[in-house]
Copies of this chain bind each other. A is one copy, B any other.
Amino acid sequence: MPIKTLHIGLGPIGAGVVRQVSSRKGFKIVGAVDIDPAKIGMDLGDVCGVGRKLRVKIAGDIAKTIRATKPDVAVLCTSSSLKRVVPEFEAVLKLKVPIVSTTEELAYPVRGNAALAKKIDALAKRARVAVLGTGVNPGFTMDALPIALTGVCESVTAIEVARVQDASIRRLPFQQKIGAGLTREEFAQKVIAGSVRHVGLAESIAMIADAMGWKLDKVTDEIEPKICERETSSQFLTVKPGQVCGIVQDGVGYRKGEAIIKLHMEAYLGAPESFDAVRISGNPALKMMIAGGVHGDVATAAITVNSIPKVLQAAPGLRTMRDMALPSYFGG
């Protein structure tokens, strides 16, 4: 019996999820919802670049669509912000449907989101279904993967993760989120406004700290622009020398004044070498490198799809990648 999926949010990531679900065994797409009036009424395959009709008409109302289509699971890709997705979660959980979401702030609830996370946990438990926030980052490269590596350590004193990505192959919203093409001043303003940033370092730090049993006394999350030296372009935009070509972001977790979790991210157009690296200080010390890195857009959609069967097996409540079964590809 294939797993019946409902897709809520059909931006680039949501569309990527639809493309993967529609091409893998083990799934049947039964419904899709978006708030964009231009998408409502259209065929899901057309909107998501599947290359064929999926014979699923995009709707605007979550509850109505669930009642009409009876999905086994909802995949929710609408916003990075936990606060913004709460009404959508309420609508889905009221009808007792489990959720896999790419909402970054749901990947691991930080202190400021504790009340919202508690609310979602309570709703999920009442509905007797599991809810999971996942993605490649947060959700894997800078948290679940380094945590899994510590599984072979008899002691861990510090964890450093570096993720460097050539952003020119990423989706347009990602390139915008990292400020590509802005002036320094525009970049600084957008950082203050919160529209230029990677959401997730605080979540990844909290996940690592809890997994290690570390009580942190301070967490910082700092953003700097990467300035373009040579003109560089992506499919979507061109950046001139002196303009911003991307972001350098550092998240640090301190315990007793010592930086014991360091997450370093660079994402900019024209990065010469993409990679994901983990360094664990402890015994044994571990130095892991993924040359070429893990492609963010494909991987975020993939880990979301791969998590679907696991969420159906998980205990009710708000789950995280820490307490889910080992990640793995799912091909039906």
Chain A residues in the interface with B (C-beta under 8 A): 20, 24, 136, 140-141, 144-145, 147-156, 211-213, 282-292, 294-295, 298-299, 301-303, 305-307, 321-332
Contact = CB atoms under 8 A, between A and B. Distances in A.
A140 B288 CA distance: 14
Contacts of A283: 298
Nearest to A143: B326
Say what secondary structure dominates the interface of chain A. mixed
A148 B294 contact: no
Contacts of A152: 136, 140-141, 294, 299, 302-303, 306, 327
Contact of A153 (B145, B302, B325): B302
Given A153-B302, A291-B289, A298-B154, A147 B325 contact: no
A288 B277 CA distance: 9
Given A154-B20, A291-B289, A292-B287, A329 B299 contact: no
Nearest to A313: B323
A299 B153 CA distance: 6
Given A136-B152, A148-B326, A322-B326, 15 more contacts: A147-B326, A147-B327, A148-B327, A148-B328, A151-B329, A153-B329, A155-B329, A212-B331, A284-B295, A285-B292, A286-B294, A287-B292, A288-B289, A321-B326, A324-B325
Nearest to A297: B284
Contacts of A287: 290-292
A288 B144 CA distance: 15
Contacts of A324: 325-326
A301 B324 CA distance: 23
Q: How many monomers of this chain does the complex have?
A: 2
A205 to B, nearest CB: 15
Nearest to A214: B331
Contacts of A153: 299, 302, 306, 329
A282 B20 CA distance: 13
A198 B140 CA distance: 31
Contacts of A284: 294-295, 298-299, 302
Given A322-B325, A325-B324, A326-B144, A288 B290 contact: yes
16 contacts: A140-B152, A150-B329, A151-B302, A151-B307, A152-B303, A152-B306, A153-B306, A154-B301, A154-B305, A155-B329, A155-B331, A156-B331, A213-B332, A286-B292, A288-B290, A322-B328
A148 B148 contact: yes
A151 B147 CA distance: 15
B156 A151 contact: no
A281 to B, nearest CB: 12
A156 B141 CA distance: 18
